[in-house]
Homo-oligomer: A and B are copies of this chain.
Amino acid sequence: MGQTLVEKIISSHSGKTIQQNEIAIVNVDAVMASDTTAPLTIKSFEEMGGTQVWDSSKVVFVIDHAAPAPNERIANLHSLMRDFAKKQGIKLYDAGSGICHQLMVENGHVKPGQLVLGADSHTCTYGALGAFATGVGSTDLAAVLLTGKTWIKVPETIKIQLNGTLQPGVSAKDLILFLVGQLGIDGATYKAIEFTGEAITNLSLDSRLTIANMVIEMGAKAGFVDTIGLELPYEFEPIKADEDAKYESVYAFDVSQLEPQVAIPHSPDNVKPISEVEGSMIQQAFLGSCTNGRLEDLHEAANILKGKRVHPEVRFMIAAASTEVYLQALQDGTAEILTRAGATFLPSGCGPCVGTHLGVPGNDEGIISSTNRNFRGRMGNRNSNVYLSSPAVVAASALFGKITNPKKLLKEAVK
């Protein structure tokens, strides 16, 4: 019988042909832990009697969630990571280097067809490369550090076909927000998702990372973006699902008429077309995160904000997804355009996304954010209201101090 992508990758990593709903023991190609999870992973590893990780070249640590350290306790957790990484010969990206998921992709720690685990729920991002990547707990990761293996129950697969051409001002983030809204926050629980169709295969790498990043917002175990049209800085052998692979379900949408989408408080699946929420007041705007902190995203905002100035009562913050992204934005003038427009650049990293520091909102404030979650209190204040959107909507909304459709601004820019 034909195989889905997840069946193929798990089979190739377990040494035998495995089908959905079976349990496999797999070899892991790479693992990642951030400052949120690495300290617990290290503790578990040592409690398990671990002395040397199975393969230090396959382990990556990143200090990104609360970086630079906002307090003494976290500073000492960072020190613990540095000490362990140094002793074990593990690659560690320190505070300011960028977001774990961006660094994994950018620096080739994950490649198409691989099986990668991270102690972070958005590890699913690497599905943009056609890798099987999923988040695991710190203790599970510790066991992988010891053995290089883990067990996986092979997920069933949902296929999503997106047809049509996107309108100007509509981007990958709108596609994935739309889908999260359609399927719901538990609509793909423990499923793999394969994305295909021209609206997907026309996307850049940056945009594909946005799509894969948010499959966890539907509960999915992993996502796979069709690798047709994918450009990477190295050669790779695309893996394709078999024609007769068995899918749990198949969805098809024509997205030609899709409006920009906004997830309103307090859930990523509480998604509305922008026309239903335009005019909602915002005091803070954030562009960044593993969802939308890449060069394409910064370009999108700069395109809207060039020569303009954000609303005086809006704090507009940007965190590039990595130092490399920041450097490119320095070189091509994007950082200057955005700074002149009133943006404040935060250190490359997670920024205010997880509410640990760097832009916790005040009570009753509205925040437009290019991030992936708006659960109550996610950004550090249960009395604030976080709206999720594309970079274009973030930029347009920052300009007017209220949720704004970027469409008319893009028309102006063309004239």
Contact = CB atoms under 8 A, between A and B. Distances in A.
A345 B344 contact: no
A362 B68 contact: no
Interface string A326-349: 110011000110011000111110
Nearest to A78: B362
A78 B346 CA distance: 18
B380 A68 contact: no
B359 A69 contact: yes
Contacts of A323: 339, 344
Given A331-B336, A362-B79, A71 B315 contact: no
Given A96-B315, A315-B94, A360-B74, A335 B344 contact: no
Nearest to A344: B96
A352 interface: yes
A252 interface: no
Contacts of A74: 360
Contacts of A76: 362-363
B360 A71 contact: yes
A344 B78 contact: no
Given A75-B362, A330-B336, A336-B331, A347 B348 contact: no
Contacts of A362: 69, 72, 75-76, 78-79
Contacts of A381: 72, 75
B327 A68 contact: no
Nearest to A69: B360
Contacts of A365: 75, 79
A230 to B, nearest CB: 29
Nearest to A77: B362
B336 A71 contact: no
Given A72-B381, A74-B360, A339 B346 contact: no
Given A68-B344, A74-B360, 10 more contacts: A68-B352, A68-B358, A69-B362, A72-B381, A94-B315, A96-B315, A323-B339, A327-B339, A357-B357, A357-B358
Q: Which 5 A-B pairs give the minimum distances between C-beta atoms?
A: A96-B344, A79-B362, A68-B359, A75-B362, A70-B357
8 contacts: A68-B352, A71-B357, A71-B360, A75-B360, A75-B362, A96-B317, A330-B336, A346-B347
